[in-house]
């Protein structure tokens, strides 16, 4: 094969190395030039083309790729059609992708013109997922190189997919007062999602105290009808004789490993009871992000017996993407590295539900202090900086109530158009330094420095990458902290909408923090003001 810039009158039967567009002539790269093509190009004023002429025995790219694809004999894969020198290979079943890396390396050493790329060994795949691709780099391959590569790709066991087996799974979840039932419900849902590709089912769930005896009893009761046992502990495993591994031993089981060199996933426990695998799931498995639990579960669902040696060999490639909400992140966060939080105090509304002429809820006094000032001072005392107070309705009186505080007031002339205009104005005024913004509603008398500080701590603990929302038990409330990554979306809001739309559509992790009834207490009516201990001023 020879690559050259050819005079157009010598280019018949050559393969175009670059697409040609000249006048009405449109020819793509790799096209074999015919006598008519040469005449058309000449008529269009093309004097030379970059092209490849083939030597005896050379194979054009599509034919070469198709030949290699046909030579591949692999279990549970489908071979695609050749196009632009490429043949894609797909999983024909959900399972565990297997590859013999030395054999792939040998294939790729045959000739730089012939490449084979695939997923890493033991990657979980769904039916239809691409698992490998053959790509011919130039427009043709020399015959001897293609023959050698054809033999190499025919290597038995080069790649394949081991199908998942449908399993019956039993879940045991331990409880502590600090673990919300809603978190446990979400954990169950994520586990069911992880089991779905294999056709496996969650046969049962038991919730028991985080005590060795209680877990052991649950293991005995659950073991018989299921194929796999999974234990989610309310507290992380701290020792090889902690609750979960000791419970496995107490029922006559064996503990294969406590801990694994995959992060997130370090605190996994692996054992067996009567030959049935038992996985003590690490806390990171409460997240849908890939972690060490996924690796072990996939191997077991593919019928493999995972040993301590297998786990010890997972360290290379075992540093996975950090999970923002982890209780103990890899890099301890110093005070200097914590994301800063600014405050946006929304104090522009018309208070239309008050129903009393001259009364404004934000000017109602609580312990002798106007409610709007009380809320702003709570944010300042919690360390929010900067603090932006957005006013609108009766702006002069509201701003007078805020006088002397270390904040910036911003009069939103468009406040009547809805909350979005005030929210946008406040976010835009924060500047470029803050890592997030807490949205404070000025009519919530129960929100003090302690509640705000608790929310800020949760936001900073998550590295500034999660939405933090106040809650009262299972009820969602306010305030909400938005990460800086959401600010552009906030600035695109229109109408009478607030942060809820951002929370529900951002795709970010949401952390609900229970701050008690304060998260639900706002004062929209005279009765609510009085019930909360406030006094309206005309």
The runs of H, that is alpha helices, within 154-224 are 181-195, 212-223
What CATH number is given for 2-53 in this structure? 3.90.105.10
C-alpha closest to that of 279 among 257, 261, 264, 262: 257
Sorted by sequence, the CB contacts under 8 Å of residue 451 that are 6+ apart come out as 378, 470, 515, 516, 518, 519
Q: Measured between alpha carbons, how far is residue 135 from residues 6, 66, 87, 198, 221 in Å?
A: 26, 10, 7, 31, 54
Give the C-alpha separation, 50 to 16, whole Å. Answer: 6
User: Which architecture, in CATH terms, is 335-531?
Assistant: Alpha-Beta Complex (3.90)
168-312: CATH number: 3.40.980.10
DSSP string, 77-139: EEE---BTTEEEEEESSSEEEEE-HHHHHHHHTS-TTEEEEEPPTTEEE-TT-EEEEEEE-SS
Report the CATH fold assignment for 59-163. Aldehyde Oxidoreductase; domain 3 (3.90.1170)
- What is the value of pTM for the model shown? 0.67
Which residue intervals of the chain bear CATH 3.90.550.10? 335-531
User: Can you give the pLDDT of all 538 residues of the chain as single tens digits?
Assistant: 788 899 999 999 888 988 899 888 999 888 889 999 999 998 999 999 998 888 888 999 999 999 999 999 999 999 999 999 999 999 999 999 999 999 999 999 999 999 999 999 999 999 999 999 999 999 999 999 999 999 999 998 999 999 999 999 999 999 998 888 888 999 999 999 999 999 999 999 999 999 999 999 999 999 999 999 999 999 999 999 999 999 999 999 999 999 999 999 999 999 999 999 999 999 989 988 899 999 999 999 999 999 999 999 999 999 997 766 666 666 565 555 688 999 999 999 876 666 655 678 999 999 999 999 999 999 999 999 999 999 999 999 999 999 999 999 999 999 988 889 999 999 999 987 899 999 999 999 999 999 999 999 999 988 898 999 999 988 999 999 999 999 999 998 888 788 888 888 888 889 999 999 999 998 888 889 999 998 887 6
Spatial neighbors of 537 by CB under 8 A, at least 6 apart, are 359, 360, 363, 364, 365
Question: Which SS3 state, helix, strand or coil, does residue 25 take?
Answer: strand
d(CA 417, CA 67): 66
pLDDT at 334 (0 to 100):
58
Which residues in the chain are classed under CATH 3.40.980.10?
168-312
Phi and psi angles of residue 143, each rounded to the nearest 5 degrees, phi first: -55, -50
């Amino acid at each position: 094969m020879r690559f050259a810039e050819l005079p157009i009158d010598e280019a018949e039967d050559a393969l175009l190395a670059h697409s040609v567009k000249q006048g009405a002539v449109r020819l793509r790269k790799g096209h074999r030039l015919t006598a008519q093509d040469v005449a058309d190009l000449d008529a269009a004023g093309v004097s030379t083309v970059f092209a490849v002429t083939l030597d005896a025995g050379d194979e054009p790219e599509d034919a070469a790729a198709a030949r290699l694809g046909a030579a591949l004999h692999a279990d549970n894969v489908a071979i695609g059609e050749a196009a632009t020198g490429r043949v894609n290979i797909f999983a024909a079943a959900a399972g565990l992708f297997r590859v013999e890396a030395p054999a792939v390396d040998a294939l790729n050493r045959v000739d730089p013109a012939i490449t084979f790329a695939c997923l890493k060994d033991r990657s979980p795949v769904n039916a239809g997922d691409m698992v490998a691709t053959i790509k011919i780099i130039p427009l043709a391959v020399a015959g001897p190189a293609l023959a050698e590569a054809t033999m190499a790709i025919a290597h038995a066991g080069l790649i394949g997919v081991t199908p998942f087996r449908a399993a019956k799974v039993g879940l045991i979840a331990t409880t502590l007062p600090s673990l919300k039932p809603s978190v446990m419900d979400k954990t169950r849902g994520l586990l069911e999602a992880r089991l779905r590709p294999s056709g496996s089912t969650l046969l049962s769930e038991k919730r028991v105290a985080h005590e060795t005896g209680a877990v052991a009893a649950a293991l005995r009761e659950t073991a018989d009808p299921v194929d796999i046992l999974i234990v989610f502990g309310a507290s992380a495993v701290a020792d090889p004789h902690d609750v979960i591994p000791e419970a496995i031993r107490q029922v006559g089981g064996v503990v294969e490993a406590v801990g694994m060199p995959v992060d997130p996933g370090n605190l996994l426990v692996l054992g067996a009871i009567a030959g049935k695998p038992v996985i003590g799931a690490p806390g990171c498995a409460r997240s849908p992000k890939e972690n060490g639990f996924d690796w072990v579960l996939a191997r077991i669902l593919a019928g493999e017996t995972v040993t301590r040696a297998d786990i010890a060999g997972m360290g290379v490639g075992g540093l996975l993407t950090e999970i923002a909400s982890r209780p103990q992140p890899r890099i301890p966060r110093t005070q200097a590295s914590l994301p800063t939080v600014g405050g946006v105090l929304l104090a522009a509304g018309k208070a239309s539900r008050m129903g009393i002429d001259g009364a404004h809820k934000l000017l109602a006094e609580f312990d002798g202090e106007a409610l709007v000032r009380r809320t702003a001072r709570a944010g300042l005392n919690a360390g929010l900086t900067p603090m932006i107070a957005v006013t609108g309705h009766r702006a002069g009186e509201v701003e007078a109530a805020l006088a002397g505080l270390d904040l910036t007031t911003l009069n939103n002339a468009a406040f009547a158009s809805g909350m979005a205009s005030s929210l946008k104005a406040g976010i835009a005024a924060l500047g470029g330094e803050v890592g997030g913004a807490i949205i404070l509603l000025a009519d919530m008398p129960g929100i003090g420095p302690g509640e705000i500080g608790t929310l800020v701590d949760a936001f900073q603990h998550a590295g500034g990458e999660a939405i933090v929302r106040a809650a009262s038990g299972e009820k969602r409330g306010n305030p909400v902290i938005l990460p800086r990554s959401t600010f552009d979306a906030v600035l695109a809001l229109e109408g009478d909408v607030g942060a809820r739309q951002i929370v529900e559509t951002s795709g970010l992790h949401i952390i609900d923090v229970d701050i008690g009834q304060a998260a639900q207490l706002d004062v929209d009516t005279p009765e609510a003001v009085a019930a909360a201990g406030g006094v309206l001023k005309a």
